[in-house]
Structure 1
Amino acid sequence: NYDYSTPIVIEGIFELDEEDSDDPDLKEKKEPNWIEKWVDENGFVKVRKTWSKPDRTFAKETYSPRDASWIENGFGGLHTKLTKYTPTPIAINAMEDQASLEEKVNKLIQDDFIKKVRSEYPEEFKNLIDGVRKLQERITGSEAVEKLNLELNKHFQEVFAELTLKIQPAKEENIRLEDAFKKNHSILVERAGTERKETFLQNGHGVIRQALFNFLTFLKREDEGNKKQYIILFEEPELFLHPKIAFKLRQSLYELSKNSPYQILCATHSPLMIDISQPHSSLIRVIKNTGGETQTYQVGETLFGRDEEAKKWVQMVNRFNPHICEAFYADKVLLVEGDTETIVYRDLLTRFFPDEEIFVLNTGSKMNIPFFQEILTAFHIEHY
């Protein structure tokens, strides 16, 4: 609300790995025992940045478990060091176009393939270097360059008579062939059954976004493992997609987050993209209260871990009735036992309370009502 008396605070929590104590990048001469000083009993290091006023630099703080308080400038240099270990963000925006797709694809190719050219294709690389060097020698030995050398030295030697300037090729190691490939990749679309080449503009934004998603997942698949090196920021994954395709994408997103270097953060308004039974996932409900302040309510897989039968039931419901997740977008939910009650209450609400926005949730059985009550309570959704 542009209230300058309220500071902006961004906090980061990092988990200590076993190898961190031997990592030379994290060792500090001034604080060799930084782990004992800044890591809490749960193995976490907490840092934050606070902006108190506009156009002012932020304050850096580290949380001290000993003092149970935030210490300004705490572990000196820790913020910079931790930046190296945070996942690299890759954004898939709502309105990607062909130009933004190719820009990101070229960046990914540059990061993952071009830097390996010298080592993986040594013979081809050497031939190209030799060709470039010979071309440089022909250019620098040409009549035009010789004339330029003469003109250059004509005035230079009036001051430094004993010196001569000469344009010549740089050393071989200074030739950066990789730079020639950085922005030299484009993507075409081929449709099965035809020989016609298509552009992304002929297929829409949904195809562009899906192409980018699949491209970056293909590039990183070699680095499978649980350590998260990248964070995909996917804005409204369901946009521009047929419901059947959106459902397939949801499966791909959950699958990709398992045993891969990816952490995936999606912002969605679609119940199709939510699967409350998936392990290793977390749902965050984001709302604005009456004062215009943003509030978040987060629930992880532990909500279902206590009851395996309930978890299996939710998996079945999700499979056949994904619209049940519409309850997450409601401010008020009415829980009913079955189909008859659902029809009756929806009709009554339409007739007598047309201005009320109440979502009628068919729980399937009165035995399931406590389970849904627990979920809705966890997300602070008003229910009856």
Structure 2
Amino acid sequence: MAKKKAQAEAGEDLSAWFEQSRPKLRKMIIRNFRCIGSKPVFIDLDDIVVLVGPNNVGKSSILKAYEMVMNHGSKKCLLTDSDFPNGCVHTIDLPQIELHTIVNGDSSPALRWVEKIEGQAIVRERWTWHSVNTEPKRQGYDVQKQAWDEQVPWGAPGVAQSKRPQPHMVEAFAHPQDLEKQVLDLLNAIIKDRIKNVQSLPDTEDELSDYARLLRQITVLRKKILDDSMSEIQTIESDLSSAISEIFPGYVVKFDPRAEDDIENDLSLFKSSSKLLMGPGQGYQGAIDKQGSGARRTLLWSALRLIVQNGAGKKTDTGRPHVLLLDEPELCLHPNAVREACRVLYDLPRQGNWQVMLTTHSPAFIDLSRNNTTIVRVERSVQGDIFGTTVFRPEKAQLDDDDRERLKLLNLFDPHVAEFFFGGHTIIVEGDTEYTAFKYIISKAPERYRNIHIVRARGKATIISLCKILNHFGNGYSVLHDTDFPILENGNKNPAWAHNASILAVVNESPMQNVRHLSSMPNFEAAYFGQEKINGGKPYNAFMRLQEDPRVFQLIEKLLSTVLNEEIELPYGCIRWGSLEELLEVVTPLQQAGAGRKE
């Protein structure tokens, strides 16, 4: 009795605790699926998950695995030969996908399935495929037994499916007709979310059989839903046409649902033959699959923007959440559309029940200023194993509001600032002059400086924010910034001087050994170009000096080498220091001697 009472009390405490959780997917573990082998790939999930890494390492396979488990109970959950490792079914290396879902009191199963992991209420499920074209075996993790069980947390697949996000997969090189269907699915999701409280008609035909009356009511109900939807369809047509016309002036979009009277098993609102038409408002409007790649992708982004602008994804008490699975969003996008596309993706989860997972080779789709983004680097080891490493999670990077604001501004100036997530060694510099000088040196010997990424922070405070990210990133990096002087020419304290100590502190927090921290005295221009300041455009004039003066070129080349390698002697004007007191002892005589001051 005492044991049962203790379990009941523990259950009550757990129930009160997980009622505060926000339901969403948190982690996925993949084994033996396509190019992913027996060593599991761990993917942390968030509102936004960005998968980065080289080509052919399994990023698209991760998206597909996500789609498979979200579609359990449908034909989309069946595997083909190509989905098994090496195209063969081996009983000891069966495809398996495990999913961790955060639950709360409104959407959770019995407490036997709920455990506390990293302060969150988690339900664990896994799917194992034993053969081609057959349903996977689904199991739940019983916390009380501490073992996988033949029973499952939410019972039948249809019940479980309603608790997990509805997947919307958009493949990188999908057939035009497939991409059209993907856009239609998104639009249907918008319309279905908007149509609520549709009532069925009363039964007035007693002479019909129960079955016949049911079919008749469903047919009438579908027509009523379609009629009720027409105003929303027309609004969507107008909004899409307005968005499309920004890229293709004069073009309009027409949505033809083509509803018919026959009954489909899934009771879809619209026939599968629904078409999207696009073209000039006063000309021929052809099917989307007849349009160019740029037009089709633009329509996709217009549909996503529509969800964001109109709040179609806002969660209702009965609405099923959504997850957008997007492979290489940068494809076929006009440069002007890239930033808008990034904004749409990051705003989508703000609707309340959308999550996004995307693969990309473009740093423009990584926004470090957001606090809901996880970045996962997918790689292949020298032994051929695929593995995923979470390289950035906002809560672990410990960025504050000032950090995010600085990074937001930096993203505006340099959309490629996040390139360091894609590999290589990162060098953080303070300003444009040193950025230009180092880039010029690298351009003269690209093979020697391969995989070197230069980031210009445009200020000492932003250097601190970037170092926090790189510390969490777990990779080596180098920092070069100006020492400045502690006192300004007018006798006031220099606010830039105080940042020196903060930079040193955050660099010392790095868990990596290959971190290099150097400073130019008192600034880059004075230290290596021998003048107090470079008048006019500093980067351009530095570029001209490097071209015209071999001595200056050799000096900057040596500086770049020593920034990368601590075994190389420091050039004159560069210092490595371990405390603010040590730095002060060096720069004070320099200022008293009347050396150049940073403007």
TM over 0.5, yes or no? yes
1:238 and 1:63 map into 2 onto residues whose CA distance is 39
* Residue identity opposite 2:297 in structure 1: R
Aligned to 1:310: 403
- 1:71 paired with 2:158, answer no
- 1:100 paired with 2:178, answer yes
Structure 1 residue 321, shift from structure 2 partner: 1.2
Q: Which of 281, 290, 307 is equivalent to 2:382? A: 290
Q: Which of 50, 68, 88 is equivalent to 2:166? A: 88
Give me the TM-score of the superposition, normalised by structure 2.
Answer: 0.46
1:333 and 1:216 map into 2 onto residues whose CA distance is 34
Structure 1 residue 372, shift from structure 2 partner: 2.1
Q: Which of 288, 292, 315 is equivalent to 1:225? A: 315
Aligned to 2:469: 375
Secondary structure at 1:19's aligned position in 2? coil
1:98 and 1:58 map into 2 onto residues whose CA distance is 30
1:198 and 1:359 map into 2 onto residues whose CA distance is 46
Q: Which of 79, 83, 97 is equivalent to 1:10? A: 97
Q: Which of 427, 431, 446 is equivalent to 1:334? A: 427
Aligned to 2:215: 174
> Does the CA-based 8 Å contact 2:169-2:324 persist in structure 1?
yes
- 1:187 paired with 2:272, answer no
2:275 and 2:95 map into 1 onto residues whose CA distance is 41
1:73 and 1:250 map into 2 onto residues whose CA distance is 42
1:17-52 alpha-carbon deviations (Å, 9 max, x no partner): 22246xxxx5xxxxxxx31x221233211222356x
> Does the CA-based 8 Å contact 2:315-2:321 persist in structure 1?
no
1:189 and 1:57 map into 2 onto residues whose CA distance is 39
Secondary structure at 1:294's aligned position in 2? strand
Structure 1 residue 222, shift from structure 2 partner: 4.0
Aligned to 2:412: 319
2:173 and 2:341 map into 1 onto residues whose CA distance is 17
2:200 and 2:115 map into 1 onto residues whose CA distance is 48
Bigger CA drift: 231-240 or 330-339? Answer: 330-339
1:361 and 1:118 map into 2 onto residues whose CA distance is 54
* Residue identity opposite 2:101 in structure 1: F
| Unpaired stretches in structure 2, ≥5 consecutive residues | 1-36, 38-84, 206-210, 223-258, 261-269, 479-599
Structure 1 residue 314, shift from structure 2 partner: 0.6
Q: Could you say if the C-alpha distance between residues 267 and 79 of structure 1 is closer, same or farther in structure 2, counting changes exceeding 3 Å?
A: farther
> RMSD over aligned Cα, in angstroms?
4.0
- 1:258 paired with 2:366, answer no
Structure 1 residue 70, shift from structure 2 partner: 3.3
* Residue identity opposite 1:182 in structure 2: K
* Residue identity opposite 2:344 in structure 1: S
Give me the TM-score of the superposition, normalised by structure 1.
Answer: 0.69
Structure 1 residue 91, shift from structure 2 partner: 1.3
Aligned to 2:370: 278
Aligned length: 324
Aligned to 1:43: 121
2:201 and 2:187 map into 1 onto residues whose CA distance is 18
Q: Which of 197, 205, 210 is equivalent to 2:298? A: 210
Identity across matched positions, percent: 21
| Unpaired stretches in structure 1, ≥5 consecutive residues | 27-33, 130-169
2:301 and 2:142 map into 1 onto residues whose CA distance is 40
> Does the CA-based 8 Å contact 1:289-1:295 persist in structure 2?
no
* Residue identity opposite 1:99 in structure 2: Q
Structure 1 residue 237, shift from structure 2 partner: 1.3
* Residue identity opposite 1:189 in structure 2: M
Q: Could you say if the C-alpha distance between residues 263 and 210 of structure 1 is closer, same or farther in structure 2, counting changes exceeding 3 Å?
A: farther
> Does the CA-based 8 Å contact 1:228-1:262 persist in structure 2?
no
* Residue identity opposite 1:261 in structure 2: N
> Does the CA-based 8 Å contact 2:125-2:152 persist in structure 1?
no
1:230-274 alpha-carbon deviations (Å, 9 max, x no partner): 111111112101111111111112222202432121211112211
2:136 and 2:399 map into 1 onto residues whose CA distance is 43
